[in-house]
Structure 1
Amino acid sequence: MPARRGDATVPQPPTLTALYHAQRLAMVRLAVLLVDDLATAEDVVQDAFTALYRRHGEHITGVDNALGYLRTSVVNASHSVLRRRRTARAWTPPAEVDVPSAEEYVVLKEAHREVLAALSQLSPRRREVLVLRYWADLSEAEIAATLGISRGTVKSAASRALDALADILKGRI
């Protein structure tokens, strides 16, 4: 809109507000065709106008082709939205782990407590052998090397420890 100063007309520099009022709907239509969602299209256009404002301010005299700049921003932002959608749709959530119910968890926790209490009643050597075998998952040879005993002693200690553990747990049940 030209302003009059005396007899000469002085053109006003283009403003972002004027561009917004003139081109917002056209940009939203463009974005809707690209992203196929009105709400997302409006967000894309709003972000494009905001980026233009942050970069150049209200008077967009520094932009040679503000409309082209805006159109490019809308197209690029639409591509980003589509890439995020494609990534989100391609993501497969991990399979759900079979989680015990609250009741099963309480029963399991109680069973663990009973086993730990029974384990504490074993002799130190038998407890060490069972812990290294079933908790640390060591082989008989590794247990023998760790404890400085023979493999035969490991076998007999494990067998006797399991029998004693079974007897202790039978008395608790």
Structure 2
Amino acid sequence: MQAETLDLGRPEPAETISGLYAEHALGLTRLALVMVGDRESAEDVVQEAFLGLHRRFGGLRDPGKALVYLRSAVLNNARSVLRRRRLPSWFAATYEPPVWSAESAAMLGDERRAVMEALRRLPVRQREVLLLRFYADLSEEETAQAMGIGRGTVKSTTHRALNALGRLLGENR
């Protein structure tokens, strides 16, 4: 009679996924919200990413990279939502981040709209790099993993995107 062996080195999928959800779902939803433009779609994008992780967790070579998988899945799912909508631009124009006072709304409204419009005019890869680096606050390495590109490509794309964004916003660069 053979005893069943447990792989004690491999974490339990439910525990790992629950922990990732508790720690990262809100940030991933915010990222998706900026990308797709409405809360319901953003929540669906993130939910699909977590469902995909659950389905594929046993096949992950390194369960420690589950967060990388989730970030990539959120990017890909958001792209799919936008393709299905057939939007002419990558960002939906409907999203307005919350403001906490009338004064801050007045001060930030025009500036925010100008930045979002300038972001819409950037090439897709440049927009994604800026969102991941500065909105999602990912490191260069994390951004590279999420996008499936090299760290050097992240650095050069970020540099080009910031310069292009500055030009679009009328700053001297």
What is the TM-score of this pair, normalised by structure 2? 0.39
Higher Rg:
1
What is the TM-score of this pair, normalised by structure 1? 0.39
